[in-house]
C-alpha cells in the first residue's frame, strides 16, 4: 500500500511540474510552454498542424506573426516532396474582390528600419528555383542606399539583370544582358539620362541631345565616327536665289582676289582652321557654295558677252585690214 501511495505522489508531482510550463486560465491569455503569455495565445515551442489554421472573421481574416519584446519572428517552410507527388510547395494568396474595385493585393517581404524607412535585405528574397533558371527579387544596399533588383539567371550566368533605383540612378531603370547594358534615368553627379550599349563610348543620351560614340554631345545629334546613309535631307530656308536678283551686287574678281590674298580663302567661306575647330553646317555650307557658283556663273555670262563683243570687233578690224 505504501508503494502505491509513493507512486501516486510521483505521478502527481510530474503532472504538477509539467503544468508549470502551461497557463490555462478561465479568462485572459493562454500560454503553452510559457507562464507569461503576452497575447491571447502564446506558444513557446514548435507548433505542428496537419489541417487548416484559419478563422471565420467575415471580410477580415488575418494570420500575423509579430515579434515579442523586440525579438525575431520567423515564418519558415521546409519540406521534402515525395517522388510520387507532382505538386511543389506553394504559397497562395487568392480569393474574390467585391465592390472595392480600386483595391489591390499587397505582398511585402522585408523589414522596416527603426526610422520607419522600408528596406529589403540583400538578395534575401528569391522567387523560383535554381535549375534550370532562377528569378530573384530583392534589394541590395549600395553606398548606404537601397536598390530594387530583379535578376533572371541560369546558375551563374545572368540572362537579364534589372535594377530600379532612386539614388545613384535617379528614377532610373537599368538592364544588363550578356555584356551590354541599357539604362534610362538620370546618371550620377548631375549627368544626363542615357541608354548605353556595348561600352561606355556608345551612349545615347535622351535629354534632347543624342551622342553616339561620345557621352558629352553639344548638339541634337553628335556622332564620333563615320555615318553611312542612303539619303540625308537638310532643310534650308535661306537658299541663295537672291544672287540673281537685280539688286544683288556681285563681288568683282578684283575684290575676290584681294580677299584671297589677305585671308587665304573665299569671301563668306570659313577657313580651314575654323572648320577644324567648329565643323560645318551642311545646309549652310551648301548654300554658300551655291552662292559662289551662281556668282561665278554671272561672271562667266558677263565674260562671255565681252568675248562675243571682242570677237565681233576683231572681225570688223580684220575685214578693214583685208580690203
**Most confident by average pLDDT, 3-17, 119-133, 208-222:** 208-222
- The reported pLDDT for the residue numbered 115 is 46
- The pLDDT tens digits for 59-109 are 556 666 666 566 666 666 666 666 665 566 666 666 666 665 555 555 555
Highest mean pLDDT among 2-6, 20-24, 29-33, 137-141: 29-33
pLDDT category, 209, cuts 50, 70, 90?
Answer: confident
Length reported for the chain: 323
pLDDT at 307 over 60: yes
Phi, psi of 179 (to 5 degrees): 95, -10
Q: How far, in Å, CA of 222 to CA of 230, rounded? A: 19
- List strand residue ranges (DSSP E) for the chain, in order: 22-23, 30-32, 41-43, 111-112, 118-119, 126-128, 134-142, 145-154, 157-165, 170-177, 180-186, 195-196, 203-204, 210-212, 221-223
Q: Could you tell me if 156 and 147 are in contact, meaning their C-beta atoms sit under 8 angstroms apart?
A: no
What mean pLDDT, rounded, does the chain reach?
Answer: 70
Are the C-beta atoms of residues 171 and 185 closer than 8 Å to each other? Answer: yes
Tell me the CA distances in angstroms from 4 to 7, 10, 18, one per residue in order. 5, 10, 21
The pLDDT of residue 169 is: 45
pLDDT digits (tens, 9 = 90+) for 220-274: 888 899 999 999 888 888 899 999 999 999 999 999 999 999 999 999 999 999 9
| Residue 309 pLDDT level (bands cut at 50, 70, 90) | very high
Percent of the chain with pLDDT over 70: 44
Q: How far is CA 163 from CA 183, 195, 198, 220, in A?
A: 9, 14, 18, 28
Kindly report which listed range (67-71, 152-156, 157-161, 216-220) carries the lowest average pLDDT score. Answer: 157-161
Instruction: Please answer whether residues 124 and 139 qualify as being in contact, where contact means their C-beta atoms are separated by less than 8 angstroms.
Output: no
For range 137-147, the mean pLDDT: 57
Q: Tell me: pLDDT of 164 over 60.
A: no
Q: What is the pLDDT of residue 199?
A: 43
Q: Is the pLDDT of residue 124 over 70?
A: no
**For the chain, how many helices (H) and strands (E)?**
4, 15
Whether residue 174 contacts residue 163, with contact meaning beta carbons closer than 8 Å, is answered with yes
- Closest residue by Cα to residue 207 from 233, 172, 180: 172
Taking alpha carbons only, the member of 191, 196, 189, 157 closest to residue 175 is: 196
Task: Return the minimum-mean-pLDDT range out of 30-39, 200-209, 288-297, 309-318.
Answer: 200-209
Amino acid at each position: 500500500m505504501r508503494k502505491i501511495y509513493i507512486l501516486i505522489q510521483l505521478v502527481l508531482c510530474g503532472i504538477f511540474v509539467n503544468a508549470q510550463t502551461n497557463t490555462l486560465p478561465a479568462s485572459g491569455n493562454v500560454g503553452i510552454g510559457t507562464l507569461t503569455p503576452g497575447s491571447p495565445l502564446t506558444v513557446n515551442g514548435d507548433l505542428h498542424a496537419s489541417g487548416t489554421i484559419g478563422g471565420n472573421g467575415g471580410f477580415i481574416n488575418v494570420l500575423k506573426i509579430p515579434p515579442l519584446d523586440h525579438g525575431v519572428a520567423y515564418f519558415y517552410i521546409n519540406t521534402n516532396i515525395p517522388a510520387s507527388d507532382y505538386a511543389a510547395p506553394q504559397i497562395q494568396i487568392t480569393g474574390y474582390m467585391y465592390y472595392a474595385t480600386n483595391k489591390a493585393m499587397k505582398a511585402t517581404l522585408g523589414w522596416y528600419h527603426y526610422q520607419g524607412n522600408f528596406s529589403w535585405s540583400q538578395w534575401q528574397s528569391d522567387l523560383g528555383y535554381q535549375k534550370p533558371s532562377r528569378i530573384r527579387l530583392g534589394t541590395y544596399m549600395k553606398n548606404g542606399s537601397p536598390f530594387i533588383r530583379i535578376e533572371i539567371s541560369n546558375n551563374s550566368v545572368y540572362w537579364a539583370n534589372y535594377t530600379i533605383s532612386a539614388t545613384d540612378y535617379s528614377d532610373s531603370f537599368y538592364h544588363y544582358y550578356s555584356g551590354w547594358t541599357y539604362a534610362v534615368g538620370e546618371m550620377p553627379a548631375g549627368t544626363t539620362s542615357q541608354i548605353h550599349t556595348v561600352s561606355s563610348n556608345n551612349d545615347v543620351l535622351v535629354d534632347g541631345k543624342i551622342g553616339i560614340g561620345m557621352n558629352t554631345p553639344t548638339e541634337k545629334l553628335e556622332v564620333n565616327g563615320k555615318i553611312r546613309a542612303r539619303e540625308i535631307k537638310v532643310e534650308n530656308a535661306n537658299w541663295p536665289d537672291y544672287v540673281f536678283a537685280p539688286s544683288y551686287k556681285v563681288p568683282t574678281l578684283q575684290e575676290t582676289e584681294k580677299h584671297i590674298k589677305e585671308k587665304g580663302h573665299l569671301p563668306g567661306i570659313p577657313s580651314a582652321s575654323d572648320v577644324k575647330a567648329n565643323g560645318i553646317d551642311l545646309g549652310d555650307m551648301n548654300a554658300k557654295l551655291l552662292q559662289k557658283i551662281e556668282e561665278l556663273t554671272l561672271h562667266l555670262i558677263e565674260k562671255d558677252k565681252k568675248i562675243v563683243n571682242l570677237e565681233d570687233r576683231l572681225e570688223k578690224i580684220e575685214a578693214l585690214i583685208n580690203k
